[in-house]
Structure 1
Amino acid sequence: MLKFTLYSRSYCHLCEDMALALKALLGDLPYDLEITDVDADPALVEKYDELVPVLTGYSVSNGWQQLCHYHLDAKAVTAFVQEQS
């Protein structure tokens, strides 16, 4: 199953937009999306503060990798999904 983490904020409309765009892009493909509030962890604020929302995907061969930030990069996510097949 595809695994993604969306680094987000509770008041971030771009974060909500990215989650919805991911759902639309993946359609019926099974995937797991964990939404993590960066403001709950100072280390995440330091790493992602100005980039939120940030979408990462988990690959068995490469571990977690950043796929896009601000807006969903459909090409990057599609390429990531194809690599996992």
Structure 2
Amino acid sequence: MTRLILYARPECGLCQDLEQELRVLQPDLGFELRVIDIDRDPALVERWGTRVPVLTTADDRLICEYFLDPAALRAICRPDECV
């Protein structure tokens, strides 16, 4: 199963929207999603700053920032279906 990480902030509307979109797609694409509040870790604040939400793979490959990129997500979750 593909493991994804969503770096976010609790009060961020874009973050909430992206998480909601991912939760809708999760059953179909079969990925595991971990949401991390960057404000709980100074190193993550330093790394991501205002660039949240950021979606990455568990091995730190960037999928998208700010808004969902459905094609990039599907390519990560189902590489055999890439064209």
Q: What's the TM-score bracket when you normalise by the shorter of the two chains?
A: 0.7 to 0.9
The residue matched to 2:3 in structure 1 has which SS?
strand
**What is the CA-CA distance between 1:22 and the residue it aligns to?**
1.5
For 1:83, the equivalent position in structure 2 comes to 79
Partner of 1:14: 14
| Residue type at the aligned position of 1:39 | D
TM-score, length of structure 2 as denominator length: 0.84
How many residues are matched? 81
**5+ long unaligned stretches in structure 2:** none
8 Å contact from structure 1 (residues 3, 32) kept in 2: yes
Quick check: 1:25–1:74 contact (8 Å CA) kept in 2?
Answer: no
Listed as ranges, the gaps of 5+ residues in structure 1 are none
Q: Equivalent residue for 2:60?
A: 64
Q: Which runs of 4+ in 1 moved over 4 A?
A: none
| Equivalent residue for 1:74, pick from 64, 70, 78 | 70
TM-score (norm 1): 0.82
Q: Distance in 2 between matches of 1:68 and 1:35?
A: 14
Between structures 1 and 2, the one with greater strand share = 1
Q: What is the match of residue 38 of structure 1?
A: 38
CA RMSD of aligned residues (A): 1.8
